[in-house]
Amino acid sequence: EKERAMPADNRIDFVSIVTPNHMHFPVAKAAVEAGFHVICDKPLTLTLAEAEALAKIVQQSNVVFAVSHNYTGYPLVRQAREMAMNGELGEIQAIRTTYIQGWLRTRLESEGQKQAAWRTDPKQSGAAGAFGDIGTHAYNLGRTMTGLLPQTISAHLKIFEPQRRLDDYGHAVIRYENGALGTVTASQISHGRENDLRIEIDGTLASLEWHQENPNELFVRKNGHPHAIYTRDPNAPFIHPSAKAACRLPAGHPEAFFEAFANVYRNAFDAMEQAIAGRPFERINTIYPNICDGVEGMYFIEQSVASSKADGAWLPLRHPLARR
């Protein structure tokens, strides 16, 4: 309230929410209702009900709301999306995403490690552990790169470490509306693995592969042709406009995690500038992840958990706010 009462040219531009999950909703709700733009960590909220309530508040406001699915900010992720959306891969038939870590192989949460403590606590993290923490990133990456809309999901989540309260491993199969199949695998108990997020997409004309730990290369394959490696080169003729715009350095200089975050923030702030100037701004079909993607991420978590509890039963996955 104190910040809101200040003259417009003296107030903060936006609120960045990087708290544990259970604090996302009250902070975001207060910020939006006070008229402040928001960039919020994922998952959006603790529960789907909170996410849907927050979406209604955002829709009734004039604020920009971004969600920090930061992997969408990598130049070659945006390159892959344009290739898929432009038909360069043909009809998309399969998406395989994995996010493999090993840092929770032991019960770090019992040893006073703060990150482990809240991420494995249902009251602070939510209904899922690994699937809510990193499985959501893997799912969002497939949705972002292809634009395919989901139809149904069958999931199996597992707690392997004794006495842990939330899943530390999980696997889901997703049916997409165009008939494609997708898989999402998330692990936080795989020895020696760090932040190994990777994706493979199979189309009728070509396939591609991207690894987060080697983000400046995109592998493209076509039967009967030499395998191609697209590098993060803003001056190369094959680089699409959105990928070029996300490049900050000349080719050969590594760009990675921080720059991807910065691209999401920059794109959201471009919209904030429009809002501050009183100009209309895009709310749904944004280059940055928005409130719709946040709600869909929560729906993915809740349906994954529900499916797993029902022994992998097929459940709906298309949320009304899902976008291409």
Q: Are residues 221 and 83 in the same domain?
A: yes
The CATH number assigned to the domain holding 136 equals: 3.30.360.10
Q: Are residues 109 and 189 in the same domain?
A: yes
Average pLDDT on 305-323 reads 98
Q: Are residues 183 and 63 in the same domain?
A: no
Tens of pLDDT, residue by residue over 99-122, are 999 999 999 999 999 999 999 999
Q: Are residues 48 and 95 in the same domain?
A: no
Q: Are residues 275 and 307 in the same domain?
A: no
- Tell me: pLDDT of 72 over 80: yes
Q: Are residues 246 and 266 in the same domain?
A: no
Q: Are residues 307 and 236 in the same domain?
A: yes
The CATH number assigned to the domain holding 51 equals: 3.40.50.720
Average pLDDT, the chain: 96
275 inside domain: yes
Tens of pLDDT, residue by residue over 213-256, are 999 999 999 999 999 999 999 999 999 999 999 999 999 999 99
Average pLDDT on 61-71 reads 97
- Residue 303's pLDDT is what? 98
Q: Are residues 144 and 246 in the same domain?
A: yes
Domain with 192, as residue range(s), is 74-253+297-316
143 inside domain: yes
Q: Are residues 106 and 18 in the same domain?
A: no
- Residue 213's pLDDT is what? 98
- Residue 118's pLDDT is what? 97
- Tell me: pLDDT of 3 over 90: no
322 inside domain: no
Binned at pLDDT 50, 70 and 90, residue 11 comes out as confident
Q: Are residues 65 and 84 in the same domain?
A: no
Tens of pLDDT, residue by residue over 33-56, are 999 999 999 999 999 999 999 999
Whole-number Å distance between alpha carbons of 258 and 324: 26
308 inside domain: yes
Distances (CA, A) of 61 to 56, 58, 175, 243, 274: 9, 5, 34, 31, 15
Tokens of 118: 């809240």
Tally of domains within the chain: 2
Evaluate whether 73 touches 246 at the Cβ level (below 8 Å). Answer: yes
- Residue 158's pLDDT is what? 98
Q: Are residues 97 and 213 in the same domain?
A: yes
Q: Are residues 279 and 171 in the same domain?
A: no
Whole-structure pTM value: 0.96
Binned at pLDDT 50, 70 and 90, residue 8 comes out as low
188 inside domain: yes
Tens of pLDDT, residue by residue over 137-159, are 999 999 999 999 999 999 999 99
3 inside domain: no
321 inside domain: no
1 inside domain: no
Find the Cα–Cα–Cα–Cα dihedral 298, 142, 266, 20, rounded to 10°: 30
Share of the chain above pLDDT 70, in %: 97
